[in-house]
């Protein structure tokens, strides 16, 4: 099964995605949490610490992946939670050694591989598209790439769910 979980910042989408993984995961082997947030300041360390605390005791092994998703070494046949797509796109676009203009393709190659080898795949993404503000060409390009990936994931997923303040609102089920 593949699920795409979206929502705004602070919407409770991570907690919901974790619960979904736990409910889908049928074996006792550890689930895999692919962490994509590159820690670069105190605020990001705090965010990461908060997430680690949240998923503690839920049987996740954490694998960090900042770029090159398709090269990530992961055990097969388990439940994989990738969090989150918005950070992965940032990394691929702006980090040295990232995919740059090939960001969408590079990430989708990684997703395709994950979808084949995982028992369940849950991808957390982000609703960044409704603030009505015109950004620099760079940021606009970022939004375009993330939007494209979200749409492709939406087509591939069995479940597409927007989390609104902790409440799941299903767009596809």
Partner 1 sequence: MILVIGGAFQGKLEYVRKTFKGGTGPVAEGESCTPEEVRQASVVNHFHLLVKRLVEQGEDPHEAARKMLEINPDLIIISNELGCGVVPVTPFDRAYREAAGRVCCELAARAAEVHRVVCGLGQVIKAGGNS
The residue range among 26-34, 98-106, 109-117, 161-169 that interacts with partner 1, by the rule CB under 8 A, is 161-169
Window 110-139: residues binding partner 1 (CB under 8 A): 127-131, 133, 135, 139
CB nearer to partner 1: pick between 45 and 135: 135
Site membership for partner 1, residue 63 (CB under 8 A): no
Site membership for partner 1, residue 154 (CB under 8 A): no
CA end-to-end distance (rounded Å), the chain: 11
Q: Where are the beta strands (DSSP E) in 12-164?
A: 31-35, 60-64, 79-83, 120-124, 159-164
CB nearer to partner 1: pick between 79 and 91: 91
Site membership for partner 1, residue 167 (CB under 8 A): yes
Q: Among 10, 28, 116, 137, which residue sits at the site for partner 1 (rule: CB under 8 A)? A: 10
Site membership for partner 1, residue 22 (CB under 8 A): no
The CA-based angle 110-114-119, given to 5 degrees, is 170
Site membership for partner 1, residue 43 (CB under 8 A): yes
Q: Among 1, 12, 29, 119, which residue sits at the site for partner 1 (rule: CB under 8 A)? A: 12
CB 157 within 8 A of CB 173: no
> Closest distance between partner 1 and the C-beta of residue 108, in Å?
22
**Radius of gyration of the chain, Cα coordinates, nearest whole angstrom:** 15
State the Cα–Cα distance between residues 147 and 78, nearest whole angstrom: 27
Q: Is the peptide bond before 84 cis (omega within 30 degrees of 0)?
A: yes
Residue ranges that bind partner 1, judged by CB under 8 A: 7-12, 43, 127-131, 133, 135, 139, 143, 164-167, 169
């Amino acid at each position: 099964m593949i699920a795409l979980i979206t929502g705004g910042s602070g919407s409770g989408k991570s907690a919901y995605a974790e619960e979904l993984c736990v409910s889908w995961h049928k074996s006792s082997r550890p689930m895999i949490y692919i962490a994509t947030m590159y820690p670069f300041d105190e605020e990001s360390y705090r965010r990461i610490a908060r997430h680690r605390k949240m998923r503690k005791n839920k049987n996740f092994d954490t694998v960090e992946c900042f770029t090159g998703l398709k090269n990530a070494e992961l055990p097969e046949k388990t439940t994989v939670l990738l969090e989150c797509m918005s950070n992965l796109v940032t990394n691929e676009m702006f980090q040295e050694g990232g995919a740059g203009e090939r960001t969408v393709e590079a990430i989708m190659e990684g997703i395709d591989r994950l979808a084949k080898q995982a028992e369940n795949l849950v991808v957390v993404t982000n609703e960044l598209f409704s603030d009505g503000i015109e950004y620099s060409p760079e940021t606009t390009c970022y939004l375009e790439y993330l939007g494209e990936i979200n749409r492709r994931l939406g087509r591939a997923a069995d479940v597409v769910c927007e989390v609104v303040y902790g409440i799941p609102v299903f767009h596809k089920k």
